[in-house]
Structure 1
Amino acid sequence: MEKKTVRGTGVVGGYAYAPAAWTRPAYVPPATASHVAEDARPAEVERFKAAADAVASRFTERASAATGVATEVLGATAALARDRGWIRAATKLINGGEQAEQATAKAIDQFVVQFEKVGGLMAERTTDLKDIRDRVVAELMGLPEPGVPKPTSPVVLCAQDLAPADTAGLDPTMIKALVTRFGGPTSHTAIIARQLGIPCIVAASDLESVVEGAPILVDGTSGIITLSPDPAQAQELVKQDAALREEIRGWAGPAQTADGVHVQLLANVSDGAAARKASTSPAEGVGLYRTELSFLTAQTEPSVAEQAAIYSEVFSAFPGQKVVVRTLDAGSDKPVPFANHEEEENPALGVRGIRLGWKNPGLVERQLDAIAQAAEDNGVEKPWVMAPMVATVDEAFEFAQKCRERDLTPGIMVEVPAVGIMPDAFLKEVDFFSIGTNDLTQYTMASDRMASSLAMLTDPWQPAVLRLVQNAAAAGQRVNKPVGVCGEAAADPLLACVLIGLGITSLSMAVNAIPAVGVQLGKVSLQKCQQVAAQVVESRNSRDAKELAAALLR
C-alpha cells in the first residue's frame, strides 16, 4: 500500500499507531420472505418482542456497567429500543403477514426517514435506531451482534459510523483511536471518545481506502490519518503523546497560564448526580447546568417546588462556588412533552429556548421562581441564570428584568449570530455572556451540526465563528462583564488557548476534558495565547486555523 493520507475532522486530540480494524457489518434480512399464516402471527409477534426485549436488556446491562456519559447514552438507547412507537409499527406489519426480520427493518426504517426530516439531534438518533434494527435482526436470525470486534492486541477502530453501544463499551487499552466515515464534532462517537481519552477523527470521507490490518497513524488534533507511516517516527509521536497523557492524568488544578494568569475551568452538568461527580474533579464550579435534560419525559410541567428540589441538588454540590443555570433549552432536538410544541418545517430555527414563553405563558417565570427558591434553600446569593436562543435586545431586556425581580444575576447565551454582531447592545441589558459554540457555529455557517457531510463547516475553528467570539469577548472587556464559553469548543485544548487569547474569561466543558485543557494552558503564557489568537482569526478556513494554532502552540 502506497503511503498516503486520509483527512477527516479531528475531534479528540492525540496520536495512535496500530493496525486498522473495521467493525462487523450488519446482517440484512432476505428481501423476500414467506408470508406468515394468520394462525402463526401471534407466535411471530412474541418471537419479535422477545428479540427486541433481549436487545434492550443488553443495552440496560451495559448502561449499568458503564460510567459517566456512557451510562446516559446507553440508557437512552435502551429506552429507544423499548419505544412503543416502532414496536407497535413492527407488530402491525407482522399481523399483516410480514416475518419478524422484515417487519423490524421496515418499521425502524420508517422512523429513520422521519427523524432525518426533523434534522438536528433527532437526525443523529438515526444511528441509534439503525443499530437497534441491526441487533434485533441479528437476534431474530440467531447470529452474533454486529458491531465492534474484540481485539486481542491494540488496534485503531474504523467504521462507517459508531452507535452508542459500540463506543460506550470500548476498552481503551485495546482500542487506541476511533475513526469514522460519518459523524460530526458533537456525535456520540466524539463525546465518548473524549471520555475514554483516545484520539478520534470523524467525517473521514475516504476512510474506505484504509485496509483491514494495515498499520495507520492517527493524529486526532489535525484530523489526518497516515497510511503506512514510518514506524520509528510514528512510535516516537505516540511516545511523546503518552508522556503528555501521563501529565494530564496527574493534573489537579487550578488552571493557570505559564505566566500565572488564572483561568476558570467549569463543568457542564445535566443533573445532581453529574454535579456531585464534577465536585470531585478540578472543576471550579458549573458553567452550564442543562435544566431541560431533567424534563425530557415529563408529561406535565413540574411544580415550582418540584423544580426547586431538582435544582437544589446541583447548588448543594458546589456550595459557595459558581453555578450557571440555563433555563429550558427545549424544542428542536430536545422537545419536552409539556411545552406545547407545534410541528415546524425547520424546528432548529423555530420555537425553542426562550421562545417557548411565547406559547407557554408563565413557563419562564415559574422556572425562575424555582431557581430562586433553590438558591435560597442553599444559601446562594444572586445565582447566575442565562437564557438560551436570545436573538433581540428586547428579549434580553425582558429576561433580565424578570431575573432581577427575583434577585438573580441575568445572562444570555451567545448562539444566535445577532448577539455576536451587536454584543454591546445586549451587554447593556445583562450581566454576562456564555457562548454556546455548537449552535453558534451551526447558525453562523448555515449548516446542520449533526450532518457528517457538513462537518468541515460545523467546525468551531471556522474563522467567522471565532470572529463572533472575539466580538463578544471584546464587548465584555469594554464594560468589565464576564464572557465564558460552554460549547464543545471549550474542551479542545488548543482552541481553549485561542479562546483565552480572544478574551474569554471562563471555559466550561465535560468534566473529563478539564485536565487536558488545564495542562495545555499551563504550557503557554497569556501573551502567547493573545498573539496566536490574533493570527488564527485571520485564517482562510478552519483547517488552516487549526494547523496554525497547533504549529504556534506546540
Structure 2
Amino acid sequence: MTTETPSGSDPGAHSLSGTPVVAGIAAGPAVHVTTDVSPEAVARFGDGGFATEDEALAAYDEAVAFVAETFTEKAAVAHGPAAEVLTASAGLVRDKGLRSAVAKALGSGGGPVAAVHAAVEQFVTVFTTMGGLMAERATDLRDIERRLVARLVGEPAPGVPTPLVPSVLVASDLAPSDTSGLDADQVVALVTERGGPTSHTAIIARQLGIPCVVGVPGVTDVVEGEYVLVDGEAGTVVRGADPDEARGLVEASRAERELLQAWAGPAATADGVRLQLLANVADGRSSQRASDEPVDGVGLFRTELCFLDRAEEPGVDEQADIYAQVLNPFRDRGHVVVRTLDAGSDKPIAFATHEGEENPALGVRGLRLAFGNPGLLERQLDAIALAAGRTGADAWVMAPMVATVAEAEQFAAVVRSRGLKPGVMVEVPSAALLAHQMLEVVDFLSIGTNDLTQYTMAADRTAADLAHLTDPWQPAVLQLIAITAHAGAEVGKPVGVCGEAAADPLLATALVGMGVTSLSMAARAVRSVGSQLSRVTMGACEAAAEAALSARDPRAAREAVRRALV
C-alpha cells in the first residue's frame, strides 16, 4: 500500500503499510538479513566427494551437532520466548525424522547439500499443510537448512549483519536465531514482509522495546542503505525519508519512551483505581529478572519451556526444584500463576506430545494430554504443591486449552485437593462463551489472546496475508474478552489477560475498561503499560472499552480508543 508524501519525508518519499507491533518512531539506513549461503561455495562443494553414503551422513551428523550446539548456546544467554524458540530449534535440527529423510535422499545421489534441501522441503510441505502454529515452523526449518548447508560447505552461518551505525533491520521474515542476539543500540527497528502480531519477530521486538511493523508488502524491495522512517504505532515504513525531519520525530519518540520507562509503580489509574501488572516468565532466571521490575507477581509461568529439550519426564522432586526457582523471587510479593504443560502443537515435548497428528494446533495439546495420561498432570501438580510449600509462595494453577465446563471442574478438583488455587485459560472461544459457568467451578480465568485470536478468526497467525485477522484488536476477539471480564466482575473473581495484547499500552486501557483485573506481559513491557494507565482515569478506560467494542475493524478500534483518551 502506498500513500502520498508522509510527514518526515522528502517529496519523493512514499510509505508502505503493515501491522503495527511495538509503538515508537525510529529511522536509519536499511540493512538486510543474509539469508542465503554463497552459491559459489555451494557449487564448489558439489556432492562433497564422499566415497559412501555413510560418510556423507556422517558429515551431516557433524553439521547437525554444530548447528544444534549453536542454538543451545544462544538459548543459554537468551530469556523468555527467545530462549523457548531457540531451544525448540535445537531439538528440531536433531530430529530423527529429519535425519531419516536426509539418509533416504542420499540414496538418490547428489550429496548432503541436495539431501538436506530435499528433506527440509518435505517437512516444510507437511508443516505448511497442517497450518496453524505448525506452519510457523517452516521458517525455522529453512533457517536450519541454511545453517546446515553453511557448515557443510565451510561458509559462515547466514544471519543478521552487525551494522556500523544505528539501522533498521528489513527482512522477508526472521527466524529465532536471527533475532536472539540483536543489539537494540544498533538495530533501532524491525520490519518484515511476512508475519503477524504474534510472530517470533513481534515477540522479540517487544522484549527489546524497539519499534516494529510486520506484514509489510513490498518492504524487501527497499534498497540496502536506503534511509527509512518506521512508525511502530501507525504501522508505516517511509522510504526516502528526510534525515533531518526524521531526526526530530525520532527524538520526540525517544523522549516519550524514556518517560514511560521512568514509571516505577504501583499500578493504578489516575483516579487511584488499583490494578495488577504481572510478568510472563519461562524459568528461574527470567523470574529473578522480572522481580527487579515493578510487577505485582507472575501472571504466566510457562512450565513447558523448562522441558523442551528433555527426552524423559523429570520426577516430582526434580520438577519441584525447577518450579521453586520461579516461585522463590515472589514468595513475599503477590502470587505466581503456574500454567500446566502446554505441550503439543509448536511446543513438542518428547515425553508428552502425541506424534503424527494431522492438525496439532487443534489436536491433543495442553490439558488434553491428561485425558489419556492423567499421571502426567498429577505428578506436575504434586511438584507445584511441593515447590509452593518449600518457598511459601502463593501459587495459583491454571490449565491451557480448556473447552468445556466439565474439563474445568475436573481440573479444579485435582488442584484443590493439593491445596492450590485453580483456574483455566480462555483460549478456545467456547471457554469465553461459557465464562459464567466456568467461574462457578474455578477461582480465576486468564485470557490467552494469541490463541484466542487465532481460533476465533480461523486464521494462521504466521500468515502475512492474514495478519489483519490475527490482530487482537479484532472486534470479535474484543467481544469475547468483554464477555469473560463481565463474568468475572459479576461474581467478584479475577480475570486476567496474559497474551501479547496485554503488552500494548493503548489496548491495555480498553481491557481495563472492560473489567480485566490483571495484565501479564514480558517484564520489559510493564513500565510502558503502567505509565499509560497512570495517565487515564477509570472512566476514560471504560470509554475506551466502549469505543473499541463499537468499532468495525482493528484500525477503527485503535483510532476510536485514541480519540476516547484525548
Q: Please, what TM-score do these two structures have when normalized by structure 1?
A: 0.92
Residue aligning to 1:384: 396
1:272-421, aligned counterparts within 5 Å?
272-320=284-332, 321-339=334-352, 341=354, 343-380=356-393, 383-421=395-433
* Alignment correspondent of 1:193: 205
Give, in angstroms, the shift of residue 363 of structure 1: 3.2
1:226 correspondence with 2:250: no
1:475 and 1:60 map into 2 onto residues whose CA distance is 43
Contact 2:297–2:336 (CA under 8 A) maintained in structure 1: yes
- Post-superposition Cα deviations, 1:175-197, rounded to whole Å, max 9, x if no partner, equal 11110011222222112111221
* Deviation of 1:73 (Å): 3.9
Give the counterpart of 2:181 among 157, 169, 182: 169
Task: Write the letter of the residue equivalent to 1:357.
Answer: A
Secondary structure of the 2:264 match is coil
Q: Which range is displaced more, 5-14 or 203-212?
A: 203-212
Q: Quick check: 1:238 aligned with 2:250?
A: yes
Matched ranges for 1:120-139 at <5 A: 120-139=132-151
Residues 92-132 of structure 1: CA deviation (Å, up to 9, x unaligned): 53465322322222222222223323334332222122112
Conservation of the 8 A alpha-carbon contact between 2:547 and 2:564: no
Alpha-carbon distance in structure 1 between the residues aligned to 2:424 and 2:237:
39
Q: Which residue of 2 aligns with 1:159?
A: 171
Deviates more, 1:130-139 or 1:12-21: 130-139
Q: Deviations over 1:318-339 (max 9, x none)?
A: 1132111112222222233333
How many pairs does the alignment contain?
A: 553
**Structure-2 separation of matches of 1:290 and 1:340:** 16
Output one character per residue of 1:394-437: Cα deviation in whole Å (capped at 9) or x when no partner. Answer: 22222222222222222111111122223222212211111111
SS in 2 for 1:276: helix
Q: 1:308 to 1:227 in 2, by over 3 A?
A: same
Q: 1:34 to 1:218 in 2, by over 3 A?
A: closer
Identity of aligned residues (%): 54
Give CA deviations for 1:479-526 in whole Å, capped at 9, x if unaligned.
111111001111111111111111110011111111121122222222
Tell me the secondary structure at the aligned position of residue 413 of structure 1.
strand
Structure 2 counterpart of 1:221, which letter?
Answer: E
Q: What is the aligned-residue RMSD (CA, Å)?
A: 2.7
Match for 1:440: what amino acid?
Answer: L
Q: Tell me if 1:3 matches 2:16.
A: no
d(CA) in 2 for partners of 1:99, 1:329: 39
How far the C-alpha of 1:293 sits from its partner, in A, is 2.1
Look up the match of 1:451: 463
State whether structure 2 residue 282 is matched by structure 1 residue 267.
no
Aligned to 2:28: 18
Q: 1:109 aligns with which of 99, 115, 121?
A: 121
Q: Which runs of 5+ in 2 are unaligned?
A: 1-10
Alpha-carbon distance, 1:5 to partner: 1.9
Per the alignment, in what secondary structure is the counterpart of residue 399 of structure 1?
helix
Contact 1:340/1:359 (<8 A) preserved: no
Deviation at 1:163, TM superposition (A): 1.5
Find the aligned partners of 2:304 and 2:190 in 1 and give their Cα distance.
30
Query: Are the aligned partners of 2:194 and 2:462 in contact in 1 as well (CA < 8 Å)?
Result: no
SS class of match (1:307):
helix
- Native 8 Å contact 1:37 1:97 kept in 2: no
**Offset at residue 545 of structure 1 (A):** 1.2
With over 3 angstroms needed to count, the CA separation of the structure-2 counterparts of 1:144 and 1:251, relative to structure 1, is: same
In the other structure, the counterpart of 2:505 is 493
Specify the code of the residue in structure 1 equivalent to 2:558: K
State the one-letter code of the partner of 1:372. A
What's the CA shift for 1:529? 1.3
Q: Deviations over 1:61-107 (max 9, x none)?
A: 54455566544444443444444443453345346532232222222
Structure 1 unaligned spans of 5+: none
- Secondary structure (helix, strand or coil) at the match of 1:339 reads coil
After TM superposition, the score normalised by the length of structure 2 is 0.90
